[in-house]
Structure 1
Amino acid sequence: MIVDSHQHLWTADYAWLAEPALTRIRRDYGVEDLRRNLRAAGVDRTVLVEAARGDNAETTEFLALAAATDEIAGVVGWASLTDPDLAGTLAAHRAGPGGHLLVGIRDQVQGQPDDHLDRADVRAGLRTVADAGLVNELVVRVEQLPAVARAAAALPDGRFVLDHLGKPRIAAGAAGLDQWRTLVAPVAACRNVVAKLSGLVTEADPAGWTVDDLRPFVASAVELFGPDRLMFGSDWPVCELAATYGQVRDALSEILGGSPDDIFGTTAISTYRLEIE
């Protein structure tokens, strides 16, 4: 059972796709596009992650879609961590179609100041998500990793997922590796944090990345987190800015010497508590 822990769906009218650099992926991506890529790559199930539309309606739509799509085993929906009625918002999602497939919540922390996760209202939101039995999914910039470590340490009974290894500057080579290793090591020391081997090709040189560019970052992640706290994620269709779905999967398999069961399946199943037959 191979699980892709990180894929998106969207329509061409998402506001952030208006950037000129994103023309290549400015189109509708739907379930049939997903299925075609999964079949070609030999992937069985996925986790559908919010796609930065930034409204609760997207989560409602994704849950209903997941309920009708066998390949989608769980949804990480969007919600504002500072929503004063976050508990009610989560309860409403769970009461709707596909609500049982809600496995995590992701706010767009990467667009906030470096210390955003230190704010009392944000910490309260993280607690609400954890108390609901859901994963706190974090998409952050590398500079925000110290705040991730502090938040995870302050909520030891919560489950955290770090997207894209915390966005290391892969294109910067050795300097990017040194900076990221220093900042991610305290995060990895928190046993309640699982990291995704995802989004790496777009943090490298999108026009000319190689497997060797990614290799030291993946090797360091295995060293720091261990394979039991790492998950394969395609970050499709964002990855199409730099690579096809198959190229992302193949690159990771080449670096890891195969498709280890934990990284390619069981870690995602246990972290998100996916119900897969």
Structure 2
Amino acid sequence: MTAGRTGVVDAHHHVWDLSVRDQDWIAGPELAPLRRNFTVEDLAPEARAAGVSRGVLVQTVTVAQETPEFLALAESSDLIGAVVGWTDLTRPDVADELARLRELPGGRHLKGIRHQVQGEPDPEWLLREDVRRGLAAVAEAGLAYDLVVLPHQLPACARAAERHPDLTFVLDHLGKPSIATGEPEPWATGVRALAALPNTVCKLSGMVTEADPRGWSVGDLAPYADTVLEAFGPGRLMFGSDWPVCTLVASYAEVVDIAARLTGKLGESEREEIFAGTATRVYGLRLGSTVPEARGPAASAAGNP
């Protein structure tokens, strides 16, 4: 698609270099296209062509060295406006570690922390006492906390957000609803309960790779987008591409176009919030805002991580 004025914020993308570090989650033939390097230099022209002027670089692996690397990368890039990094929330000196990260080159770009909660066997991992101490330290540092979870973990997310009212919780990928099966529950109930708490926001991201790998349309995604639009409202919703994971099924331009279509019935100011305003506030970005313009009917795609 083509975009209007520049200024769209991509609130969720990744990069990795397999010569520096393996991405052990990229396993199996269905993810084989991701087993190569994806760099800021690869992303930049696609982002600019889609009207994106700022992005949020999000952690991919639970390796301490990744966050300092991402911070240094953000310092040298005019595209990366913020970093959501990783650190072990259960370490007793987590507050000191967060302070250390912010003193590193590019440390001013650290705006959030994320852990792969979706991989934790305990559905109430976020409610553990040692994790709660870590979340309190994240809040004290003035950072956001990104939630990458599965639908059955949403109740714990809501309880954590209730227990930490001074911490902004950012739900990645809508909480990964089962779009492929077309079954909204228990996701819908869980996401509405989370959205009822004022210190929560949601990323309109990751939907294309949760859709039916045999083929899908924008109409298949619409009920899930509508649910979070109603639950969170545009002022607590932000667009994210989930590049390069999205490339399994759709190009960067197509993902932006799909988001434009899913929000096409909203007013201009509401779409400004989703495509720039919310992410600008949550991640402390400095830029103007705009919204992308939908092009034509988006094609169905296949594939799923």
TM-score, normalised relative to structure 2: 0.87
Displacement of 1:193 in angstroms is 0.3
Matched, 1:275 2:282: no
| Number of the residue aligned with 1:61 | 69
Q: Which runs of 5+ in 2 are unaligned?
A: 1-6, 289-305
Contact 1:73-1:276 within 8 A present in 2 as well: no
Could you tell me which of 246, 252, 259 is aligned with 2:259?
252
Displacement of 1:207 in angstroms is 4.0
Displacement of 1:16 in angstroms is 1.8
| Number of the residue aligned with 1:152 | 161
Three-state SS of the structure 1 residue aligned to 2:188 is helix
User: What is the CA RMSD across the aligned residues, in angstroms?
Assistant: 1.3
Q: Residue deviations 1:47-90, cap 9 Å, x none?
A: 000012x1121000000000000010000001121122211211
The aligned amino acid for 2:163 is A
| Number of the residue aligned with 1:162 | 171
Could you tell me which of 240, 246, 263 is aligned with 2:274?
263
After superposition, the Cα gap between the structure-2 partners of 1:27 and 1:153, relative to the gap in structure 1 and judged at 3 Å, is same
The aligned amino acid for 2:227 is S
d(CA) in 1 for partners of 2:186 and 2:41?
Answer: 40
Matched, 1:93 2:101: yes
d(CA) in 1 for partners of 2:143 and 2:135?
Answer: 10
Q: Residue deviations 1:230-273, cap 9 Å, x none?
A: 00000000111111111111111112117710000010000111
Displacement of 1:209 in angstroms is 1.8
Contact 1:207-1:242 within 8 A present in 2 as well: no
What is the number of residues matched between the two proteins? Answer: 274
Matched, 1:8 2:14: yes
What stretches of structure 1 move > 4 A for 4+ residues in a row? none
d(CA) in 1 for partners of 2:207 and 2:163?
Answer: 28
Once the two structures are overlaid, the 10-residue window that deviates more, 7-16 or 123-132, is 7-16
Contact 1:146-1:187 within 8 A present in 2 as well: yes
Could you tell me which of 43, 51, 55 is aligned with 2:52?
43
Displacement of 1:172 in angstroms is 1.2
Three-state SS of the structure 2 residue aligned to 1:74 is strand
Contact 1:49-1:75 within 8 A present in 2 as well: yes
Matched, 1:186 2:176: no
Three-state SS of the structure 2 residue aligned to 1:171 is coil
Matched, 1:25 2:34: yes
Displacement of 1:41 in angstroms is 1.3
Could you tell me which of 223, 226, 234 is aligned with 1:216?
223
Three-state SS of the structure 1 residue aligned to 2:185 is helix
Which structure has the higher relative contact order (CA within 8 Å, separation 6+)?
2
Matched, 1:82 2:90: yes
Displacement of 1:11 in angstroms is 1.9
Contact 2:152-2:186 within 8 A present in 1 as well: no
The aligned amino acid for 1:4 is D
The aligned amino acid for 2:12 is H
Displacement of 1:111 in angstroms is 0.6
Three-state SS of the structure 2 residue aligned to 1:18 is coil
Displacement of 1:3 in angstroms is 0.2
The aligned amino acid for 1:262 is E
d(CA) in 2 for partners of 1:57 and 1:181?
Answer: 36
d(CA) in 2 for partners of 1:246 and 1:10?
Answer: 20
d(CA) in 2 for partners of 1:95 and 1:241?
Answer: 36
Contact 2:13-2:242 within 8 A present in 1 as well: yes
Three-state SS of the structure 2 residue aligned to 1:219 is helix
The aligned amino acid for 1:185 is R
| Number of the residue aligned with 1:105 | 113
| Number of the residue aligned with 2:133 | 124
Structure with greater proportional helix content: 1
Three-state SS of the structure 2 residue aligned to 1:16 is coil
